[in-house]
A and B are shown apart, each in its own frame.
Chain A
Amino acid sequence: MGYSKDQLLARLKELQIEFSQYEHPVVLTVEAQAKYVGNLGGALSKNLFLKDKKHRYYVVSALADTKVDLKVLSQRLGLGKGGLRMAPEEALGEILQVPLGCVTPFAVVNESARHVSLLLDQGFKNQECCFFHPLANDMSISLNAHGLDKILKSIGRNPSYIDLEANPPVGKDQPPDLAAYVPSDSPVLPDLPEKAPSSQDSTGDSVGAATKTAAFTAKAVKPSGNAKNVKEKSADSARPSIPAADAGKFVEELLDRASALLLSEISEDSIKQHGGQLGAEVANNVKKYLREDLKNLATIFKNTAYTEGFYAGTRCQPKRL
Chain B
Amino acid sequence: MEKTEDKNQQQEEEQVVNPWEVSAKDGGKIDYDKLIDKFGCQRLDQSFVDRVQRLTSRPPHVFLRRGVFFAHRDFNDILDAYERGDKFYLYTGRGPSSEALHLGHLIPFMFTKYLQDAFKVPLVIQLTDDEKCMWKNLSVEESQRLARENAKDIIACGFDISKTFIFSDFDYVGGAFYKNMVKVAKCVTYNKVVGIFGFTGEDHIGKVSFPPVQAVPSFPSSFPHLFSGKDDLRCLIPCAIDQDPYFRMTRDVAPRIGYHKPALIESLFFPALQGENGKMSASDPNSAIYVTDSAKDIKYKVNKHAFTGGQDSIEKHRQYGANLEVDIPIKYLNFFLEDDVELEHIKKEYGAGRMLTGEVKKRLAEVLTELVERHRRARAAVTEEMVDAFMAVRPLPNMFD
Q: In the complex, how many angstroms separate the beta carbon of A200 from the nearest chain B beta carbon?
A: 11
Q: Which of B45-53, B76-84, B249-257, B379-387 sits within the interface?
A: B379-387
Bound-state CA distance A213–B293 (Å) is 23
Q: Give chain A interface residues in 296-312, CB to chain B under 8 Å.
A: 296, 299-300, 302-304, 306-307, 310-311
CB distance A299 to B385 under 8 Å? no
CB distance A241 to B383 under 8 Å? yes
Query: Which A residues lie within 8 Å of B145 (CB)?
Result: 212-214, 217
Contact partner of A243 (CB less than 8 A), chosen from B144, B155, B160, B383, is B383
Query: Which A residues lie within 8 Å of B176 (CB)?
Result: none
Query: Which A residues lie within 8 Å of B159 (CB)?
Result: 299
For the complex, is A202 an interface residue (Cβ under 8 Å from B)?
Answer: yes
For the complex, is B72 an interface residue (Cβ under 8 Å from A)?
Answer: no
Q: A239-261 CB contact bits vs B (8 Å, 1 = yes)? A: 00111000000000000000000
Q: In the complex, how many angstroms separate the beta carbon of A253 from the nearest chain B beta carbon?
A: 10
For the complex, is B103 an interface residue (Cβ under 8 Å from A)?
Answer: no
CB distance A299 to B294 under 8 Å? no
CB distance B162 to A232 under 8 Å? no
Bound-state CA distance A311–B392 (Å) is 11
For the complex, is B271 an interface residue (Cβ under 8 Å from A)?
Answer: no
Bound-state CA distance A202–B380 (Å) is 10
CB distance A226 to B383 under 8 Å? no
| Given known A-B contacts A228-B294, A300-B378, A306 and B385 have beta carbons under 8 A apart | no
For the complex, is A285 an interface residue (Cβ under 8 Å from B)?
Answer: no
For the complex, is B232 an interface residue (Cβ under 8 Å from A)?
Answer: no
CB distance B381 to A304 under 8 Å? yes
| Given known A-B contacts A234-B152, A303-B155, A306-B161, A214 and B380 have beta carbons under 8 A apart | no
Contact partner of A303 (CB less than 8 A), chosen from B99, B160, B374, is B160
For the complex, is B7 an interface residue (Cβ under 8 Å from A)?
Answer: no
A interface residues, tally (CB under 8 Å): 41
CB distance B384 to A216 under 8 Å? no
Query: Which A residues lie within 8 Å of B380 (CB)?
Result: 196-197, 201, 206, 208, 233-235
For the complex, is A211 an interface residue (Cβ under 8 Å from B)?
Answer: yes
Query: Which A residues lie within 8 Å of B376 (CB)?
Result: 232
For the complex, is B285 an interface residue (Cβ under 8 Å from A)?
Answer: yes
For the complex, is A317 an interface residue (Cβ under 8 Å from B)?
Answer: no
Bound-state CA distance A295–B389 (Å) is 21
Bound-state CA distance A217–B146 (Å) is 11
CB distance B374 to A296 under 8 Å? yes
Query: Which B residues lie within 8 Å of A228 (CB)?
Result: 292, 294, 297
B interface residues, tally (CB under 8 Å): 38
Bound-state CA distance A196–B379 (Å) is 10
| Chain A contact residues: helix, strand, loop or mixed | loop
Query: Which A residues lie within 8 Å of B100 (CB)?
Result: 224-225, 229
Bound-state CA distance A64–B100 (Å) is 36
| Given known A-B contacts A197-B381, A201-B377, A234-B380, A310 and B158 have beta carbons under 8 A apart | no
Bound-state CA distance A226–B289 (Å) is 13
**Closest B residue to A299 using CB positions:** B158
CB distance A303 to B161 under 8 Å? yes
For the complex, is A2 an interface residue (Cβ under 8 Å from B)?
Answer: no
Bound-state CA distance A216–B141 (Å) is 8
For the complex, is B148 an interface residue (Cβ under 8 Å from A)?
Answer: yes
Q: B340-380 CB contact bits vs A (8 Å, 1 = yes)? A: 00000000000000000000000000000000001011111
For the complex, is A47 an interface residue (Cβ under 8 Å from B)?
Answer: no
CB distance B384 to A236 under 8 Å? yes
Bound-state CA distance A212–B386 (Å) is 15
Bound-state CA distance A226–B376 (Å) is 15
For the complex, is B74 an interface residue (Cβ under 8 Å from A)?
Answer: no
CB distance A226 to B285 under 8 Å? yes
For the complex, is B169 an interface residue (Cβ under 8 Å from A)?
Answer: no
Bound-state CA distance A225–B100 (Å) is 9
For the complex, is A137 an interface residue (Cβ under 8 Å from B)?
Answer: no
Q: Which 8 A-B pairs have the closest CB atoms?
A: A196-B381, A310-B389, A241-B383, A214-B145, A303-B161, A307-B386, A307-B389, A306-B161
Given A228-B294, A236-B383, A300-B378, list of 14 further CB < 8 A pairs? A197-B380, A208-B380, A211-B384, A213-B148, A214-B141, A217-B145, A225-B285, A226-B297, A235-B380, A241-B384, A243-B383, A299-B160, A303-B155, A307-B383
13 contacts between A and B (CB under 8 A): A153-B384, A156-B385, A197-B377, A197-B380, A202-B377, A217-B141, A226-B285, A228-B297, A235-B380, A236-B383, A296-B158, A307-B385, A311-B385
